[in-house]
Structure 1
Amino acid sequence: MLLQFSVENFKSFKNKTILSLEASTDSEHKNNYSLIGKDKCLKVISMFGANAAGKSNIFQALTVSILLVRNSNQRQIGEVMTSIVPYKFDEKAQNSPTSFEFVFIVDATKYVYGFSATQHKIITEYLYVYKTAKASVIFERDENKEEIYKFTNPKLKKELLPLTKMNTENKLFLATATAWNCEETRIPFTWFQTSINVYTSNYRNFNKIGYMLENDSDHSLHNFIHKVLKEADINIHDFEFESRELKKEQLPENMQEIFSQNTNFNLKQFKINTTHQIKKADGNIEYHSLNINQESIGTQNLFYMSPIIKQAFDTGETICIDEFDNSLHPMIVLYLIRLFNNSEINKANAQLVISTHTMDLLDLKILRRDQIYFVEKNNNTGISELYSLDEFSPRTREDIRKAYLLGRYGSIPNVQDGDICD
């Protein structure tokens, strides 16, 4: 589970910015967090803010940092890390590294992993583990020091020091050490590979969903999608899934050339049709089929989001979705949020981090104060700031939505009433 993410000098976030999923001492909504040892981990974080305030930059920072870890071993010597984009409106910031840090829990053990980098090299990197109340150093790396790598545990030093020679300046040692079978780095590296995923509102990966449904031997995924659509009051009786293998000659000519050298060619075509139950004037029931692409954008979004949510509930993943409410009715958004906060459904303690404009979530009957975040950009400097509603300490019965629209918490657009025709 993710406890905290921080970023500094990335796009509009010039200053160190912290997104915390650690529950405060607030006694409200105890089902909205999971207790892992002594740590209270929030299940949902919702992020509000005006357009262009910087909400998407938080999700991009998460994406960039996670992919830098995952793809480190594939990076060639001298390959530029173009995804690192520092704050552009200050010369010092442009020439300074970008920093990322994650605090997370795997199997009741807490880890802290962070690194700073320019587009050309890793500057610092560190990994700590909490086996007691005090953090233990697995490794520390600082390219500005004469002794670049530091190990405080003699046994670990003996194992890890030889592996530093296998690393390059643009690769993360976490990934390199894991590639050489280091057990101490394997668990946190695997967390980055499998336990946290970021999606944009265009998460409709048809092939990914197709393969998930193809391997749904117990029909649990089919049943979950069907249940979500039904409970969200989507007028779909059921759906059918079809998979068939394609031959090379069935592809367009340009694609045939791409696959011509591939002797293990295996490409599949997936088809999803929804079934609608229609009651005729004479009382008879008829069933009609539509291709999923003929459904509304909102229905498609909910359909393709459901397997992502199901997988999170099965594995306990942290999923981060930008523009979560894209084409979804506010009541459906509330329904999905309640699924995550429901300990009977979310048994594996999955987490959901979203950006949204659904102001119905600004309700302390649904979310805790520490589950609501705001993003605001200073138009004079272009610097974004992230802060929690918990910093304002509103009363439990306060109308948060009304206070937000009145500008009490900032992060709303200052829309003018002028005539654009002037």
Structure 2
Amino acid sequence: MLYRSQFEKVRYIECDKISFDVVEGIMLLDFSVSNWMSYKDAADLNLLGSLERQHKCTLAKLPGWRSKYVLPTAAIYGGNASGKTALFLALSALRTMATADAGVDGVLPVNKFRLQTADGPTTFDITFLAGTNVYRLYVEATDIAVAYESLELVHEKSSTVLYERESKAATPPDAYVFDNTFFKDSSHVEYAARSTRANRLFLESAIAQNVIELKEAHDWFAETLELIGVGSQAWSFAKAAGTQEGFLDFASEELSRLDTGIARLIAEPVSVDALPSSAGLRRAIAELSEGEVVTVVQDLEAGDYRFDMLLVRLSNGQPDVQRLRTVHVGPDGTEHKFFLSMESSGTQRLMGLLPMLFSLSTSADGRAADKVFVVDELDRCMHTMLTMRLISDFLVTCGVESRKQLLFTTHDLLLMDQDLLRRDEMYVAQRGTDGCSQLIGLAEYKGLRNDKDLVRSYLDGRFGGIPMLGEAGRRG
């Protein structure tokens, strides 16, 4: 049996005197996971606006629904090992299952709760907007098989089950039920179902077998949901530098504006001998066409950020190699060139976030990209004021017709600021004495005024999620 829609949980904001056309979009509305890593019971991240009136103008209207609004951002606070990254990894695992085949003998990226023998599979439940349609994907899976899967088309007062799949080990193959009014070629869909292995989501397998009716839902995972972890982001910067027109100009302006000490970025010509020796790189360069770019990232030392970057283009049939460098201005006004590896860890972390900021900024056609970015430890290596500026710069571009989101985990308590975020955009992950994590929304707490010092309440333990540290050592 399918669970009741997550839309029944929350009351919604009434937004008076706003007129708009129906705008297609792509947003995350709700995500829940259980029996996953440190979460024994369900952790629910709800992105639907509550009756909170603060910062109301940043909410996005859910197209086709009356008085339903979506939050543009959500922050998850908590101590170390509280369960923040576990939520990030849960979304990452579901995205992987929805977009990639594990292979005949492969395992699914399912990491069950391990502090006791947990019966049953891990459960993923996600509701999202794609175009003008609201979908709900529900999955129960172990690391070797999908036990249950369903996809619903959610309407304002009802829902339609597009397909439902249940695995019964005693009576293989899996049992499927389809909405034949949704699928044009029922025989082809049934063939795709019979061809889907136990360790593969039908959503992913069906797309590989050209079931085009599921493309909109599948593409939300493949093209819209972007996850940025705490590791090196050099490759994301390199990809943007090599493939996105205008990115390097944008990066130069942002690095200068955000007080990194960098005046601008430059691409300095260097010899072909500067390229690392690699057969794969030689093949990639040999296959280049005019106008294409190969980006080469060189990790100079172990760690997250110590890298340099080379750009290779084809010019008159020959490789043109350029090294990306930063320019700083000295006290006497003279310019000095720095390698990327000479920049601070905070600056290099910021550079790793610039592709995301570029995507979220207004594009040439006047609209920002429809993306859902989920960032683990947004504040990593960065000053509070810089992190606040990135969030506020994003939020001032959000409104009733915007279709973009920035979700993040953080250790920075100064970001728990009601001048920056709404209370229903704040969540706390906490781990109990039994080792189980919980996710609690601050909107659940009654009596929190707009002028309340949330940081003090958090540190006093009202919301949980603070480290339970042992007694400090004594200085002799």
Match status 1:213 vs 2:241: yes
Match status 1:386 vs 2:410: no
Match of 1:279 in 2: 331
Of 143-152 and 104-113, deviating more is 143-152
Write the distance in 1 (CA, Å) between the matches of 2:40 and 2:159. Answer: 28
Q: 1:33 to 1:330 in 2, by over 3 A?
A: same
Return the offset for 1:231: 2.9
CA RMSD of the aligned region, Å?
2.7
Write the distance in 1 (CA, Å) between the matches of 2:424 and 2:36. Answer: 24
Write the distance in 2 (CA, Å) between the matches of 1:250 and 1:302. Answer: 25
Q: 1:193 to 1:278 in 2, by over 3 A?
A: same
Write the distance in 1 (CA, Å) between the matches of 2:215 and 2:475. Answer: 61
Query: For the Cα contact (< 8 Å) 1:17–1:385, is it kept in 2?
Result: yes
Pick aligned residue for 1:149 from 167, 171, 176 = 176
Q: Which amino acid aligns with 1:170?
A: N
Match of 2:357 in 1: 309
Pick aligned residue for 1:196 from 218, 225, 229 = 225
Pick aligned residue for 1:115 from 135, 139, 144 = 139
Q: 1:328 to 1:128 in 2, by over 3 A?
A: same
Return the offset for 1:216: 3.9
Return the offset for 1:243: 8.0
Secondary structure of 1:279's counterpart equals coil
Structure 2 matches for 1:64-213, cutoff 5 A?
64-72=93-101, 75-81=102-108, 83-91=109-117, 93=118, 95-130=119-154, 133-144=157-168, 148-154=175-181, 156=183, 157-206=186-235, 208-213=236-241
Match of 2:452 in 1: 398
Secondary structure of 1:7's counterpart equals strand
Match of 1:4 in 2: 30
Q: Deviations over 1:281-332 (max 9, x none)?
A: xxxx211110111011111111221112212444221111111101111001
Write the distance in 2 (CA, Å) between the matches of 1:340 and 1:262. Answer: 36
Q: Deviations over 1:248-275 (max 9, x none)?
A: x9644xx54x779999666643132111
Secondary structure of 2:217's counterpart equals helix
Q: 1:305 to 1:144 in 2, by over 3 A?
A: same
Q: How does the TM-score come out when normalised to structure 2?
A: 0.79
Q: 1:372 to 1:132 in 2, by over 3 A?
A: closer
Return the offset for 1:397: 1.3
Query: For the Cα contact (< 8 Å) 1:33–1:341, is it kept in 2?
Result: no
Write the distance in 2 (CA, Å) between the matches of 1:4 and 1:327. Answer: 29
Write the distance in 2 (CA, Å) between the matches of 1:152 and 1:97. Answer: 26
Query: For the Cα contact (< 8 Å) 2:242–2:295, is it kept in 1?
Result: no
Q: 1:344 to 1:410 in 2, by over 3 A?
A: closer
Return the offset for 1:6: 0.8
Write the distance in 2 (CA, Å) between the matches of 1:189 and 1:244. Answer: 43
Write the distance in 1 (CA, Å) between the matches of 2:424 and 2:285. Answer: 54
Write the distance in 2 (CA, Å) between the matches of 1:155 and 1:215. Answer: 37
Match of 1:296 in 2: 344
Q: 1:245 to 1:125 in 2, by over 3 A?
A: farther
Secondary structure of 1:115's counterpart equals strand
Structure 2 unaligned segments of length 5 or more: list them. 1-26, 289-293, 297-309, 311-322, 362-367
Query: For the Cα contact (< 8 Å) 2:251–2:265, is it kept in 1?
Result: no
Q: Which amino acid aligns with 1:177?
A: A
Q: Which amino acid aligns with 1:109?
A: N
Structure 1 unaligned segments of length 5 or more: list them. none
Q: How does the TM-score come out when normalised to structure 1?
A: 0.88
Match of 1:320 in 2: 374
Q: 1:131 to 1:404 in 2, by over 3 A?
A: closer
Write the distance in 2 (CA, Å) between the matches of 1:346 and 1:234. Answer: 33
Write the distance in 2 (CA, Å) between the matches of 1:278 and 1:251. Answer: 32
Write the distance in 2 (CA, Å) between the matches of 1:24 and 1:349. Answer: 18
Return the offset for 1:403: 0.9
Secondary structure of 2:334's counterpart equals strand
Match status 1:16 vs 2:42: yes
Query: For the Cα contact (< 8 Å) 1:31–1:342, is it kept in 2?
Result: no
Q: 1:64 to 1:304 in 2, by over 3 A?
A: same
Write the distance in 1 (CA, Å) between the matches of 2:281 and 2:376. Answer: 34
Q: 1:152 to 1:346 in 2, by over 3 A?
A: closer
Query: For the Cα contact (< 8 Å) 2:76–2:84, is it kept in 1?
Result: yes
Q: 1:259 to 1:359 in 2, by over 3 A?
A: closer
Q: Deviations over 1:174-210 (max 9, x none)?
A: 111112222221111011001011111224233x322
Q: Which amino acid aligns with 1:355?
A: T
Write the distance in 1 (CA, Å) between the matches of 2:31 and 2:269. Answer: 39
